[in-house]
């Protein structure tokens, strides 16, 4: 089975590895890295390790 490329959307997840939770979802790698850096720059810092994960959403058929 082939899925039309217009149904596949690339996203970048800013993921907190310690709490196993997604902090934010961005459209570009630059935006995701910038968001992770913003989290680390909070007053007092951020104690958990953040990872940016490339993911793909598959949209339902029209």
Q: State pLDDT tens for residues 10-43.
A: 999 999 999 999 999 999 999 999 999 999 999 9
Owner of token pair 């490329």: 5
pTM: 0.84
In whole angstroms, give the CA distance from residue 17 to residue 2: 33
Tell me what pLDDT residue 30 has.
98
In whole angstroms, give the CA distance from residue 62 to residue 60: 6
Q: What is the DSSP letter of 48?
A: S
Structure tokens at 3: 């899925």
Structure tokens at 33: 């890295």
| Per-residue pLDDT band at 1 (split at 50, 70, 90) | low
């Amino acid at each position: 089975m082939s899925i039309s490329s217009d149904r596949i959307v690339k996203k970048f997840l800013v993921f907190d590895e310690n709490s196993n939770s997604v902090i934010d979802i961005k459209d570009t790698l630059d935006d995701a890295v910038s968001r992770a850096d913003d989290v680390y720059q909070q007053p007092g810092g951020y104690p958990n390790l953040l990872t940016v994960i490339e993911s793909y959403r598959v949209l339902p058929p029209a």
